[in-house]
Chains A and B, each alone.
Chain A
Amino acid sequence: MIKRDPITGSYVYLNIDGVEYRVYYEEAGQGIPLLLGHTAGSDGRQYRHLLCDAEVTRDFRAIAFDLPFHGKSLPPHGEKWWTKEYNMTKKFMMDFPNALAAALSLERPVYMGSSMGGHLAVDLASNYPDKYRATIAVEGALRSAAEYVDVGMAGIRKEFDNPNVNRTSIGAAMLLNISPYSPEANVREIQWEYSCGGPGIFAGDLYYYYYDHDVSAEEARAIDTKKCMLYMLTGDYDPNTSPAETKQLADLVKGSKFWVMKNLGHFPVTEDYTEFRKYLLPILSEIKGQRAA
């Protein structure tokens, strides 16, 4: 008998700010739409375990996308993208899932993302509460940890977009974000995915992750969790967005919910999905219950 994953891959064309992007996404399941955003410099493969989790896909249509320039979503054909330095912006990060949800006719999806995708969960809850019924910030915060922000884009590019350094080193650098309790096969898979990224893309994504995502206390206090519930999950081995950083956010957003995930790092969805789902499933159950209520 042939072993298969219950995942279907598709391409859809999205127009964002006058540019057409051919976007790849994978999906599994049916029910409440659940958009899944990947980390900086990686792609939707990070969600392969979740997409195969029958307890999730029984009630949720889980959709893991590759942002343009990531994974199987090529740079926009016909655009002279090679003439510009790539930097991911908050505006594009927000426009993208909005455009994808519209193209797929998703009715008030749930959005979940990790790392820069986790920060995006906060930005969507703040800026588009009418479009999302809930967002789940995995390793999200008001801002990333100051020690990393202070490096500056020049320092980031020296490490991650340097012709003297091949992309294996980007994968190697991800070790700093990973829990020593995570199974080594999963660690190596994360590093593999990071080693596959396009030139300059990881560094450019960090422009959003470290700089363009910067939520003020005032903005956080204004997030209306009655319109769009904000859940937060952060691993205790994540130095980039540590539990302390996420707690600052959680303390400001009335009605939000936050859990620290023990022995998990910055990539919990891939690092150890078996552990991660123990935190995720109760959240999905709550969201499902709200729909039924």
Chain B
Amino acid sequence: MPLVDMEAVRAVAVSDPEFRRETRYLNGAVKLKVADDTHVLHFKDGSISDLTGDDTPDEQCKIVIKGTREHWVNLLAEKPKPFYQCLQSTAVKHGLSISDTNETFAYLPGLNRMTVLMRQVFNSGGKA
């Protein structure tokens, strides 16, 4: 069973106003390696068009985020301990990997919102 139910995340993301706004105009793949699982969110003109497994090489993705089980469990805690409060602090202080493409920086508001939605799903047994 995956650590995070990304189908449930997708279900809330598609109707989340902030996520929809902050991913506007995004085209391409966002790859998440969550412990042993890989999820690829495919975007077309700002909307999620598909959610797949590890079918897209990193270099073909606009954004790639990779973390161990420890990274994600701490990051997705309801009240994360220092410095797991967000993707970037987890990267700088605890070694989570985040790409440094223009899209990564441009869509950081969307990635932050995605993290919040993942946290909600993670802490509600798959239901947000």
Contact = CB atoms under 8 A, between A and B. Distances in A.
A binds B: yes
Interface of A: 147-148, 155, 158-159, 162, 164-166, 168-169, 171-173, 175-181, 236-237, 239, 242, 265
Contacts of A172: 108-109, 111-112
Contacts of B79: 180-181
A178 B85 contact: yes
Contacts of A162: 102, 105
Contacts of A173: 88, 108
Contact of A166 (B80, B89, B106): B106
Given A237-B85, A239-B83, A176 B92 contact: yes
Interface string B74-113: 0000011011011011001100000010100111110110
Contacts of B106: 164-166, 169
Contacts, number: 61
Given A175-B88, A178-B85, A239-B92, A159 B80 contact: no
Closest 7 CB pairs of A and B: A164-B102, A176-B89, A172-B109, A176-B88, A172-B108, A239-B83, A175-B86
Q: Max chain B CB contacts within 10 Å: which of A178, A181, A237, A265?
A: A237
Contacts of A169: 105-109
Contacts of B109: 168-169, 171-172
B110 to A, nearest CB: 9
Contacts of B111: 172
B79 to A, nearest CB: 5
A180 B83 CA distance: 10
B85 A176 contact: yes
A158 B105 contact: yes
Contacts of B93: 147, 239
A151 B66 CA distance: 20
B100 A158 contact: yes
Contacts of A166: 106
23 contacts: A147-B92, A147-B93, A155-B100, A158-B100, A158-B105, A159-B100, A162-B102, A165-B102, A169-B107, A169-B109, A172-B112, A176-B85, A176-B88, A177-B89, A180-B79, A180-B80, A181-B79, A237-B83, A237-B85, A239-B82, A239-B92, A239-B93, A242-B82
Contacts of A158: 100, 105
Nearest to B87: A176
A226 B112 CA distance: 46
A159 B82 contact: no
B63 to A, nearest CB: 13
A148 B88 CA distance: 11
Nearest to B88: A176
Interface string B44-60: 00000000000000000
Q: Max chain B CB contacts within 10 Å: which of A147, A165, A176, A242?
A: A176
A158 B104 CA distance: 11
A133 B100 CA distance: 45
